[in-house]
Copies of this chain bind each other. A is one copy, B any other.
């Protein structure tokens, strides 16, 4: 069967991904290598992700603030492992002016005394403010979030997945005790996991990173890992327990109830526009994007089928009444997002336009429907099926239809995850699992010991350790990289 996107997923997954991004008008490459332009359709998905997460952050007591884009080198240097982790991929500002040379060329001028780095993340800069804001136990917990752009110079950029500049939120919190900070770290991990399941229809594995996959400067890094349709893993969000490392580096101290000065405990956590990449690779099909209804910019598109210009006015009026009725219906407390495609274009072209862009429900209205007070509709997750129903029952059932689409998408992603996860206990099985015979990769659960030997063996095989899942098999086995008996199991995968 012919598909709207070429190549198909099975032919070349990575090129299919790029084609979906292009055909769905999600983003495009910019003249600056590694930086992307997020087009309105892609940006609107991001806005929906933002709004829901922002509601959840505020409901859990977090306040938004904004910290500068530029970080002095001396700040980055404060935390030794932190600077080592980010120094290799920084954009460095060295001048504050341009001057024209005699031949009319612009050249940098006004050299700065101390170079500045465009933030790759903001722990060190925010720490400087926190050390002023936190004086007493009364100021704690301090729960701050920032929506911002960050920059990490990428040698192998890939739109949404690995771009030099990306948009994200970074939460930064300060607590009076280790327990509270650890609670916050896990609470935000859980918030992310619930969001990806309940809003993006993406199942995730929650876990903690091993030593060599940790955020530079963290005591422990928690993660949610999702499986793409090619069986590779994508890290969809992280939550870091920073212990007292950054409090020490930034001098964040508070006077406790007994009047004694103590070092505070901090956390940080973030998700980014990478989530849009996950949506594409988990839900897309050979006809293009499929957007989970809760974050779809348009949840329902109405396409008038105009065969005869004399009917235009009547059909548009019919569509507008329908739009109005739909826009008063709700899904999870939010009004439905519905639009009419009035463009001067054939209905066949329009149909494929909306399929490729992944609109969950497409309604078609021609004169037959109008005369019978009905509509025809089809859902993006089962394109071929066109259903004709009367307007009233359609409007009444619409929220349910959208919920069913979400459930269907989540169910099928869950099936793929469980079908493609294997438990192995020998090196041969492990090698066989990653042998690439089939085109779809797998997730592997295997015994684990945190040892450099494992790190080196995995690097050789091009396999990564995604996490030590919070849910453990509770069995004892031998780590076949080290020969050590262990009760810890880890999740291994090829990854993005």
* Residues of A that sit less than 8 Å from B by CB: 28, 30-32, 35-40, 43-44, 46-47, 63-73, 75-77, 83, 87-100, 106-108, 110, 115-118, 125, 128-129, 132, 138, 144, 148-149, 151, 153, 165, 167, 343-345
The answer to whether residues A64 and B87 also contact, given A35-B70, A108-B94, A138-B344 and a CB cut-off of 8 A, is no
- Contact, CB under 8 Å: A144 / B40: yes
Q: How far is the CA of A345 from the CA of B136 in the complex (A)?
A: 13
CA distance A404 to B43 in the complex (A): 38
CA of A295 to CA of B89, assembled, Å: 39
* Contact A39–B68 (Cβ < 8 Å): no
B70 touches A165 (CB 8 A): yes
Asked, given contacts A72-B31, A117-B98, whether A37 binds B106 with beta carbons under 8 Å apart, the answer is no
Q: Tell me if B93 and A92 are in contact (CB < 8 A).
A: yes
Measured CA separation A150–B61 after assembly (Å): 29
Residues of B within 8 A of A68 (CB): 30, 32, 35-37, 165
Q: Given A40-B65, A40-B144, A138-B343, A97–B106 Cβ distance below 8 Å?
A: no
Given contacts A31-B72, A69-B165, A165-B69, contact A95 B92 (CB under 8 A): yes
A44–B144 Cα distance when bound, in Å, is: 12
- Contacts A73-B106, A87-B97, A148-B149 supplied; 19 other A-B pairs, CB < 8 Å: A28-B129, A30-B68, A31-B72, A31-B75, A31-B128, A32-B116, A36-B68, A37-B67, A39-B65, A43-B66, A66-B167, A88-B97, A89-B96, A90-B96, A91-B93, A91-B116, A93-B93, A118-B118, A138-B343
A84 to chain B, nearest CB (A): 9
Residue in B closest to A54 when the chains form the complex, CB atoms: B47
The distance from the CB of A355 to the nearest CB of chain B, in whole angstroms, is 20
Q: How far is the CA of A106 from the CA of B79 in the complex (A)?
A: 13
**What are 8 of the A-B contact pairs (CB < 8 Å)?**
A36-B68, A37-B67, A43-B64, A70-B165, A76-B98, A87-B106, A92-B94, A92-B98
**Cβ of A138: which chain B residues have Cβ within 8 Å of it?**
343-345
Asked whether, in the complex, the Cβ of A89 is within 8 Å of the Cβ of B94, the reply is no
In the assembled complex, how far is the CB of residue A365 from the closest CB belonging to chain B, in whole angstroms? 22
- CB of A97 within 8 A of CB of B108, answer no
A90 proximity list for chain B (CB < 8 A): 95-98
